[in-house]
Structure 1
Amino acid sequence: MNPTRPPSSSRDLAQEFACLVGLDALDGAEASAMEHCHECPLGLAARAAMGYDETLAEMTAASYPPIAPPAALKDAIFSKISPKETSAPSKQGYFFLGDQEGTWTDLPGGKVRVKILSDLEDSPHTLVLLEADPGGVFFPHAHKGMEEVFMISGDLETEGHHMHAGDYLRAAPGTRHHRAISHGGCRAIMVTARENHPRRAIGLYAGLVRSLRSLRRR
Structure 2
Amino acid sequence: MTESPLPQELEEQAALYALGVLETGDRRAFAVRLQGESLPLRQAATAYRAVVEALASAVAPVTPRPPLRERIVDQIAVEAAHDRAQFEAVANTLALNAVPVVPRASLRERLMTRVEGHTDVRVDPLKGLTFVKASEGTWHELAPGVSAKALFFDQASRRATALVRMTPGSFYAPHRHAEAEELYVLEGGCFCGGRELKVGDYHRAEAETEHHDTSSDEGCLLLVISSPQNEMLP
Count of residue pairs brought into register by the alignment:
134
Contact 2:159–2:179 (Cα < 8 Å) also in 1? no
Deviations 1:146-204 (A, max 9, x none): 11101111010122211000001110111111021100100011112454388xxxxxx
Q: Give the Cα–Cα distance (whole angstroms) in 2 for the partners of residues 74 and 132 of structure 1.
A: 40
Amino acid at match of 1:103: T
2:100 is equivalent to residue 57 of structure 1: no
Contact 1:105–1:115 (Cα < 8 Å) also in 2? yes
Deviations 1:119-153 (A, max 9, x none): 14344321111101111111101112111101111
- 1:1-218 matches, within 5 Å, as 44=1, 47-48=2-3, 51=4, 54-57=5-8, 66=107, 68=110, 69-70=112-113, 73=116, 76=119, 93-108=128-143, 110-193=144-227, 195-196=229-230
- TM-score under structure 2 length normalisation: 0.49
CA separation of 1:134 and 1:92: change in aligned 2, threshold 3 A: same
Q: Give the Cα–Cα distance (whole angstroms) in 1 for the partners of residues 140 and 117 of structure 2.
A: 24
Amino acid at match of 1:152: L
CA separation of 1:126 and 1:75: change in aligned 2, threshold 3 A: farther
Amino acid at match of 1:55: L
Contact 1:154–1:184 (Cα < 8 Å) also in 2? yes
How much does 1:59 deviate? 6.8
Percent identity over paired residues: 25
Contact 1:134–1:185 (Cα < 8 Å) also in 2? yes
Which has the bigger relative contact order, CA under 8 A and spacing at least 6? 1
Q: Give the Cα–Cα distance (whole angstroms) in 2 for the partners of residues 114 and 186 of structure 1.
A: 12
CA separation of 1:71 and 1:163: change in aligned 2, threshold 3 A: same
CA separation of 1:112 and 1:93: change in aligned 2, threshold 3 A: same
CA separation of 1:140 and 1:160: change in aligned 2, threshold 3 A: same
CA separation of 1:55 and 1:181: change in aligned 2, threshold 3 A: same
Contact 2:175–2:210 (Cα < 8 Å) also in 1? yes
Contact 1:126–1:197 (Cα < 8 Å) also in 2? no
Deviations 1:104-127 (A, max 9, x none): 11012x100011110143443211
Contact 1:127–1:189 (Cα < 8 Å) also in 2? yes
Q: Give the Cα–Cα distance (whole angstroms) in 2 for the partners of residues 101 and 133 of structure 1.
A: 21
CA separation of 1:175 and 1:102: change in aligned 2, threshold 3 A: same
Unaligned residue ranges in structure 2 (runs of 5+): 13-105
Is the deviation greater in 65-74 or in 178-187?
A: 65-74
- TM-score under structure 1 length normalisation: 0.52
